[in-house]
Amino acid sequence: MVGLSLRRGQQEGLAKYTFAPAECEAQTKALHEACDFLESVYLATCNRVEVVFLCRRGTPVSEYRKRVHGFFATRDQAGTASEPTARKAAQSLHAFEKDGAAEHLFCVAAGLDSLNPGDAQILGQVKDALHMAQRLGLAGAHLQLVFEEAFQAAKRVRSQTAIGARPVSMVSLAFDLIDERTKLPATVALIGAGEMTRQCGEHLRGRTGCNLLFVNRTLGKVANLAASCGGRALALDAFLAAPGRLDVIVTSTSAREPLLGPAFFAALQGAAPLVIDLAVPRDTDVDAAAVAGAQLFDIDHLKVQAERNRRAREAEIAEARVVIDEALEALRRRVVERDISPIVRDLRSQGQAAADELLKQLFNNGLAKMDEAHRDHIRRFGQQVVNRLLHMPTVGLKRLAQDHGMEAVEAFLRGVRDEHREP
């Protein structure tokens, strides 16, 4: 895995590695081809970007990190990855391989690596990322196995530990800000048509004196949501041109450039609003908001509060890590069983072939007059001998693979083959 999260970087840096929805599938395929992955899954949320991939044998993860760097650094100006901030973000990309990569994926899926431990949204986002990769033909059986175990681990964390009993997300921090800093009656504009907009609308629905405006470039995408929440749907262009009086703005769109700029803030009536910007990159021009006197809280601001929440939940995180460790051990067993099975079958086939050849010589010489019934009895006995003789080395090879990886098993088998070739 190679990636970047808000826990280790800033919002602007993360934006450089985030594909716009319209280009996501095409760019994900381009990333896969440019980096020469065998299999890959691209995951992007408001909190992180992760590339989960299967390496070619002999190519270290550090080399793949350079390739990921290079892909984003050479994107066109729409990606703006050539700016100094993009170079700084590239240097902060984390990289994990083998058990470390599996562990990181498990923690991501379970919400343990989120700004808010126990994030209830991340598991669905990880599932969506895998499904997209499978639909594009980028993820196969190897990654599917690892992701399936990650999903099961995440479900156990949520059902068996205290961290799952009180799930929180980035949008829940937005709820806290709205509740703490807004007095009713108030007009709240929700910009965007995604999950965060839906959750904010449902959180505020039915509050006396709360006037909800659902704003989106395509009006039809928010019309039903606005109706179900007792609000009004507005087209983005009309809203930006004449926003009227607003108390709160919550924005989370996929726009590549700020929507709320100097012209928007100049068109506002009354006092400057509370602005909660959950978009990556930001929907708000920071300088324009400051000049207007707006209270702006973006993901970088929410990150500070999230870290406080995280420290308060360290005991719950430790409890969840026990579940993750158990799941990682289960994954190791499944991977070993999968990888060692062809080797075991080959050993048994070779052992049985050697036994058959020796029995054939025996039947053609010393036991040439033995009837077929007795020969079958001896053949079955030979199979039992082969199975018993191979049982101990089979168990040993599985343990070797679990403790030291398949490379150790392959080295052992090469040594055995080399020994047999010697005169």
Which residues does the annotation mark as catalytic? 46
What residue type is 184 in one-letter code? L
Distance CA 63, CA 97 (A): 12
What residue type is 200 in one-letter code? C
User: Based on the number of CB atoms within 10 Å of its own CB, is 348 exposed (0-12), middle (13-18) or buried (19 or more)?
Assistant: middle
Q: Judge contact between 204 and 229, C-beta under 8 A.
A: yes
What are the structure tokens assigned to 167, written together?
Answer: 């799930």
Provide CB contacts within 8 A for 115, sequence distance 6+: 6, 7, 47, 170, 302, 303, 306, 307, 310
Distance CA 303, CA 178 (A): 16
Provide CB contacts within 8 A for 190, sequence distance 6+: 197, 200, 201, 212, 213, 214, 215, 231, 250, 251
Provide CB contacts within 8 A for 371, sequence distance 6+: none
Q: Judge contact between 274 and 247, C-beta under 8 A.
A: yes
Distance CA 107, CA 308 (A): 19
Number of H helices, E strands in the chain: 18, 10
Residue 29 three-state SS: helix
- Beta pairing, strands 94-95 & 2-5: antiparallel
Provide CB contacts within 8 A for 175, sequence distance 6+: 200, 203
Edge to edge, the sheet with strand 94-95 lists 39-44, 48-54, 2-5, 94-95
- Among residues 88, 117, 89, the alpha carbon closest in space to that of 18 is found at 89
Q: Judge contact between 190 and 250, C-beta under 8 A.
A: yes
What are the structure tokens assigned to 152, written together?
Answer: 């099961």
Q: Judge contact between 238 and 214, C-beta under 8 A.
A: no
- Among residues 168, 161, 102, 166, the alpha carbon closest in space to that of 318 is found at 161
